[in-house]
Structure 1
């Protein structure tokens, strides 16, 4: 049974998953982590869902780990355990990249720590004007968690990544946009704007194309240009006989809205 800390809703082919602990600025818990994985799997399997949005209730997106957890772990005896070696897209939060549909982070307010890490694995990040973000790790005696030291340099460059990770300083949405980390939207009616953008992606784009493009983007992280080009050429040939390719040509020629099936 869902705890109520996470909400799941579908409208206009857009699934919105909302972190729902507004009284705690949606501070992250193990329950939320488990339910996010379950809800993303549910949205992935639902043929009615074409785009997924992650956002927060109230004033914040996610203020990082719940401080009660941090207090307990600070007093715990350190223990290094052997970990199973998993693939790049099977890590604690990197599995979000493997979701076969576009995942949008709708950062409606303050975001920190693990909350920020979650957004790094989303395909698109929109942030409310004036909202604040921080990695915070260096100011809590922690390290760059959850692969953030790998992701951030690839998203915003080594210098910007080192700046915000080593300092743990607060970054406004507008500076994050200049770094290339987010796109800023007006804070007023932020959720409605995210819904509209996600619904547009769902209505105008081929779900099959988006699935393949996501695979291409993920593969490009660790492949060379030659390998990426071969993959694109192979996938281009496979497009030719699909329903979505035929519809893509037909709706353009007939000057009407598309009716993609994802096949």
Structure 2
């Protein structure tokens, strides 16, 4: 039986591949459970210092497996969207809170919860065929998997309403202009290698500081100035005690290039 999720590790980079290419990597229960559990393991694995999230085949991820969902509806389930609490919410929390950088290699279409996953990454690399579709309203649903949190932070409140309510595809160059993509490469075949190169650069950096930056921005985006200052003070207390900070300070004083060990 083919594994629904693949994890390959090399030089501090963990590449997570959604592996249901025949269904455009739609999210069935098996894939959602595997993703939720694997993200938890990655968070605790200090040997993985950056993550690439991608999809096998010609799409990144088209969101919920609607055939599986239709079966749930047909069975008369009284809580057919229980998967949001059981799977999507924990996945969003794990992905957003990973204490290391995440780069999404958005090959082809990212729709619905697939777009949500991409937008929870810290960086998103796309190609000419990349498109993002906030498809929820097209099937009579509101957003999930953290998109009500991530999307307005990237594009603003008014644009988020437009993208969610009109549910029209956002092509690569438009997505780049809106900030939904970090970079667009010239050839779709280069999306994953570029994302992995991007992640390799991050994997050689100060991992603890990267995690702290993510946490403080999560507070600063929505909190008060006092909240942000408290988060910054906490982050600097943690980072200031790291071996990376001490060695980088020494390297600066002695005019050497710093080498970070992620500790």
Question: Which bin holds the TM-score, normalised by the shorter protein?
Answer: 0.7 to 0.9
CA–CA distance in structure 2, aligned partners of residues 3 and 38 of structure 1:
17
RMSD: 2.4
CA displacement 1:201-235 (0-9 Å, x = unmatched): 111x2111112112112222432112212332343
Q: In structure 2, what is the equivalent of residue 101 of structure 1?
A: 100
Q: Structure 2 vs 1, CA of residues 113 and 240 (structure 1 numbering), >3 Å: closer, same or farther?
A: closer
Question: When the two structures are aligned, how many residues end up with a matched partner?
Answer: 256
CA–CA distance in structure 1, aligned partners of residues 139 and 44 of structure 2:
38
Instruction: Give 1:107 deviation, angstroms.
Output: 0.7
Instruction: Give 1:261 deviation, angstroms.
Output: 2.9
Q: Is the 2:115–2:133 Cα contact (8 Å) retained in structure 1?
A: yes
More helix by share: 2
Where in structure 2 are the equivalents of 1:14-163 lying within 5 Å?
Answer: 14-77=13-76, 79=78, 91-163=90-162
Structure 2 residue runs without a partner (length 5+): none
TM-score by length of 2: 0.87
Q: Structure 2 vs 1, CA of residues 137 and 162 (structure 1 numbering), >3 Å: closer, same or farther?
A: same
Q: Structure 2 vs 1, CA of residues 114 and 241 (structure 1 numbering), >3 Å: closer, same or farther?
A: closer
CA–CA distance in structure 2, aligned partners of residues 242 and 45 of structure 1:
18
Instruction: Give 1:257 deviation, angstroms.
Output: 4.6
Q: Structure 2 vs 1, CA of residues 146 and 42 (structure 1 numbering), >3 Å: closer, same or farther?
A: closer
SS in 2 for 1:16: strand
SS in 2 for 1:169: coil
CA displacement 1:117-138 (0-9 Å, x = unmatched): 1122222222223312211122
Instruction: Give 1:91 deviation, angstroms.
Output: 4.4
Q: In structure 2, what is the equivalent of residue 246 of structure 1?
A: 246
Q: Is the 1:130–1:174 Cα contact (8 Å) retained in structure 2?
A: no
CA–CA distance in structure 1, aligned partners of residues 238 and 107 of structure 2:
39
SS in 1 for 2:16: strand
Q: Is the 1:97–1:218 Cα contact (8 Å) retained in structure 2?
A: no
Q: Structure 2 vs 1, CA of residues 240 and 138 (structure 1 numbering), >3 Å: closer, same or farther?
A: closer
CA displacement 1:162-183 (0-9 Å, x = unmatched): 1111111111021111111112
Q: In structure 1, what is the equivalent of residue 177 of structure 2?
A: 178
Q: Structure 2 vs 1, CA of residues 26 and 257 (structure 1 numbering), >3 Å: closer, same or farther?
A: farther
CA displacement 1:79-119 (0-9 Å, x = unmatched): 359x9xx9xxx645233112211122111111111111112
Structure 1 residue runs without a partner (length 5+): none
SS in 2 for 1:120: helix
SS in 2 for 1:233: helix
CA–CA distance in structure 1, aligned partners of residues 127 and 175 of structure 2:
11
TM-score by length of 1: 0.87
Q: Is the 2:60–2:114 Cα contact (8 Å) retained in structure 1?
A: yes
Q: Is the 1:106–1:191 Cα contact (8 Å) retained in structure 2?
A: yes
| 1:12 and 2:22 correspond | no
Q: In structure 1, what is the equivalent of residue 198 of structure 2?
A: 197
